[in-house]
Every structure is written in structure tokens, then in C-alpha cells.
């Protein structure tokens, strides 16, 4: 387990951190003189939690925000634990036959990863597996976009994605890759047991080896694709649809 200090910026991100993961917030910096009611709400919330609050000049916030749009609110955050590959089996076993794993093959945009993590947390995902290379890692932008979800779901960076996928299969996890040309529909696949949903990154989608390692390929039906010319969905949108189809099946079945 490892932790590191970082700054998170933005009213939503700071508020979510205070609400969902306050034990990792070390201090809050707010713009001096701001009368924004949400800034005042953050200040009150932090003080109730005995978290130090300082009012500082906008230039100071600009400096620590590192180019992120801070909206007058920044927090120093000790990132929640980083999960290692060898902990993945324990996470799957703890799910007792109902593991739901999201595998992301090379998502490059931090906003997309943040949105995926938000859907993952909301759908009760067991773990999110990402490659250490050719993929954005959980950084300040990801944390802001995820609105606190980045600290609520185990994110497991792996050295070799296809190897990690094979290890998941050995644990009894069935892996279904999302591919637009797949003949099988997402809605016809049983997603109630130990399941891993594998999505590709922006642009190229699933890489060849990732695709070949999957137990099956499925597609999200898109009846309007031919008429509109929309051939694929944004990865974060696809992740949300896919994860909540699994949730629907598990709740109803």
C-alpha cells in the first residue's frame, strides 16, 4: 500500500472529497474574499470535520492547482491506497461469486477515466484494472472528474494487461470485450456471476491481444447508427451502459 500527497481542485472535487473521503484530506485552501455560497459551504464542512482551512489569494490557488480550473477551492489530499496486482485475487474472492471487474485497455483521456470510475463506483464494481503503460493513471484531473469516486473503487494498475486478464480467468471471471462488430448483443449475455467487462481506449478500441484474450465479444445495439453515422460511443458512455446492464441483471435475477 502506498500513499502520496497531491492537490485536487474544483468545488465539486473538493466537496466530494470532504463528503466521501475526508480522512485523506489534509487541508483546504479557499479564495480570500469569495462570497460564493458553495465555497462557504465547503469551509463550514471542513471546519466541522476539524480539517484546517486557509483563505488565500487567487494566485496562490492558481499555483497549487497546476493549471486545473479550481473555482476558488483546492485541497491537499493524501491519495487513498494504491492497489497492487497481487491483491486482485483477494478482491475477486471477497465478492463471493459476484465479482464485477471493469478492464480498461489504454484509456488516454483523464476525463474519460474519471467518468468511468464514477460509473464504476456507482455500480458497485469490485475493481478497475488498467495497464501501467499506454494509459492515463489516476491523477488530479481524474480525481476531479470522478467527483470523489477515484478513492471509492479499487483501481489496479497492471504491468501486462493480457496476463492479468488470463489470471482473472483462472479465478473464474468470464471476460467480455466490447466491440462494435461483435455479433452477440450485450443484452443477451449473462452478467450475473464473476464477470469482467473489457473496454478499449479512445480511437483504436481493444488491442489485438486484449481482444483475443476475451472469452467473448459483445456489442451495444445501436439502431440509429446507420442513419446518423455514429459508429461508436465514447468509452465512458459505453462503460456506464455496460456496467448498469450488469447491475440490472443482478438486481432482477
Could you tell me which CATH number the domain at 85-252 has?
Answer: 3.40.1280.10
Beta bridge partners of 6: 77
What is the tens place of the pLDDT at every residue in 96-135?
A: 999 999 999 989 999 999 999 999 999 999 999 999 998 9
Domain boundaries along the sequence of the chain: 5-78, 85-252
**Integer Cα distance of 235 and 179 in angstroms:** 11
What is the tens place of the pLDDT at every residue in 67-89?
A: 888 999 999 988 767 799 999 99
Q: Would you place residue 51 in the very low, low, confident or very high pLDDT band (cuts 50, 70, 90)?
A: very high
Q: Would you place residue 253 in the very low, low, confident or very high pLDDT band (cuts 50, 70, 90)?
A: low
What percent of the chain is predicted at pLDDT more than 70? Answer: 93
User: Whole-prediction pTM value?
Assistant: 0.75
Q: What is the per-residue burial (b if ≥16 Cβ within 10 Å, else e) of 12-31?
A: ebbbbbbeebeebbeebbbb
Instruction: At 60, give phi and psi (nearest 5°).
Output: -65, -40
**Integer Cα distance of 156 and 87 in angstroms:** 8
> What's the average model confidence in pLDDT over 17-21?
79
Hey, do 5-78 and 85-252 end up sharing a CATH topology, with the first three levels equal?
no
The helix or strand, by DSSP H or E, that contains position 146, with its residue range, turns out to be helix 140-146
Q: Which fold has domain 5-78?
A: 60s Ribosomal Protein L30; Chain: A; (3.30.1330)
Contacts of residue 237, Cβ cutoff 8 Å, sequence gap at least 6: none
Amino acid at each position: 500500500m502506498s500513499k502520496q500527497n497531491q492537490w485536487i481542485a474544483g468545488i465539486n472535487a473538493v466537496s466530494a472529497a470532504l463528503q466521501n473521503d475526508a480522512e485523506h484530506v489534509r487541508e483546504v485552501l479557499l479564495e480570500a474574499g469569495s462570497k460564493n455560497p458553495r465555497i462557504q459551504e465547503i469551509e463550514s464542512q471542513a471546519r466541522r470535520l476539524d480539517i484546517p482551512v486557509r483563505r488565500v489569494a487567487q494566485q496562490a490557488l492558481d499555483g497549487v492547482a497546476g493549471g486545473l480550473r479550481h473555482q476558488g477551492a483546492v485541497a491537499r489530499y493524501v491519495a487513498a491506497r494504491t492497489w497492487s496486482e497481487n491483491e486482485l485475487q483477494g478482491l475477486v474472492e471477497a465478492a463471493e461469486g459476484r465479482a464485477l471487474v471493469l478492464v480498461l485497455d489504454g484509456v488516454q483521456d483523464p476525463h474519460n477515466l474519471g467518468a468511468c470510475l464514477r460509473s464504476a463506483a456507482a455500480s458497485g464494481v469490485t475493481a478497475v484494472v488498467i495497464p501501467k503503460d499506454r494509459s492515463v493513471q489516476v491523477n488530479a484531473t481524474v480525481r476531479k472528474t470522478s467527483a470523489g469516486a477515484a478513492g471509492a473503487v479499487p483501481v489496479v494498475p497492471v504491468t501486462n494487461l493480457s496476463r492479468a486478464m488470463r489470471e482473472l480467468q483462472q479465478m473464474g471471471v468470464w471476460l467480455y470485450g466490447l466491440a462494435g462488430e461483435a455479433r452477440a448483443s450485450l443484452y443477451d449475455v449473462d452478467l450475473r456471476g464473476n464477470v469482467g467487462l473489457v473496454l478499449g481506449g479512445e480511437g483504436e478500441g481493444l488491442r489485438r491481444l486484449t481482444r483475443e484474450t476475451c472469452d467473448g465479444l459483445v456489442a451495444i445495439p445501436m439502431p440509429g447508427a446507420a442513419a446518423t453515422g455514429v459508429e461508436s460511443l465514447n468509452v465512458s458512455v459505453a462503460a456506464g451502459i455496460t456496467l448498469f446492464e450488469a447491475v440490472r441483471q443482478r438486481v432482477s435475477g
